[in-house]
Amino acid sequence: MPTIFARIIRREIPAHIVYEDDLVIAFLDISQATKGHTLVVSKVEYQNIFEVPEKTASHLFGVATRLAKAIQKAFGASALNILSNNGELAGQTVFHFHLHLIPRYERQDDNLFKLKNNQGNLTSDEYKERARLIKEALS
């Protein structure tokens, strides 16, 4: 079963496409969380970041950078969030890798993304151990 984004890529369902090349497509998110909210989507149907080759991800991020500047210019956005939900627990609802570009205009949008701060609950050894585990997994 193709994802909704795969169907947009194949022009089976309509979308407001703003950019396309061999690897990537970008179109307006139907929800328009803020004015100009845009999705940058890999053409290959990778489920999430855990499947995406680095080369595709870096191209996708390059396109996102270009689009962020275009969105800023088009709407005069003073700020912009880049968001990617990967996996159901992270809030992903369409299982086809994508970045959200969410331009920001007003303070009242502040509560769109509030991260919990656990700094006070962690010892220096716990930070060290977390960093060590990531570095070990990289090698």
Amino acid letter for position 98: H
Q: Which two tokens stand for residue 83?
A: 């968001």
Cα angle 116, 119, 122 (rounded to 5 degrees) comes to 120
Q: Which two tokens stand for residue 57?
A: 């991800």
The nearest distance, CB 25 to ligand 5GP, in angstroms, is 11
The nearest distance, CB 56 to ligand 5GP, in angstroms, is 18
Greatest distance between any 2 Cα atoms in the chain: 53
The nearest distance, CB 92 to ligand 5GP, in angstroms, is 4
Q: Pick from 20, 29, 45, 109: which binds ligand 5GP (CB under 6 A)?
A: 29
Catalytic: which of 37, 96, 98, 100?
A: 98
Q: Pick from 17, 23, 30, 131: which binds ligand 5GP (CB under 6 A)?
A: 30
Quick one: which of 126, 80, 68, 86 has its CA closest to 105? 80
Q: Contact, 40 vs 24, CB < 8 A?
A: yes
The nearest distance, CB 43 to ligand 5GP, in angstroms, is 15
Tell how many helices (H) and how many strands (E) occur in the chain. Answer: 3, 5
- Tell me if 45 contacts ligand 5GP by CB under 6 A: no
Known catalytic residue at 59? no
- 53-58: long-range contacts, CB 8 A cutoff, minimum separation 24: 56/23
Residues numbered 71 to 100 that lie near ligand 5GP (CB under 6 A) are 85, 91-94
Contact region for ligand 5GP (CB under 6 A) — 23-31, 42-50, 70-78, 105-113? 23-31
Chain position carrying tokens 């191209």? 59
- Positions annotated as catalytic residues are 98
- What residue ranges bind ligand 5GP (CB under 6 A)? 4, 15, 27-31, 85, 91-94
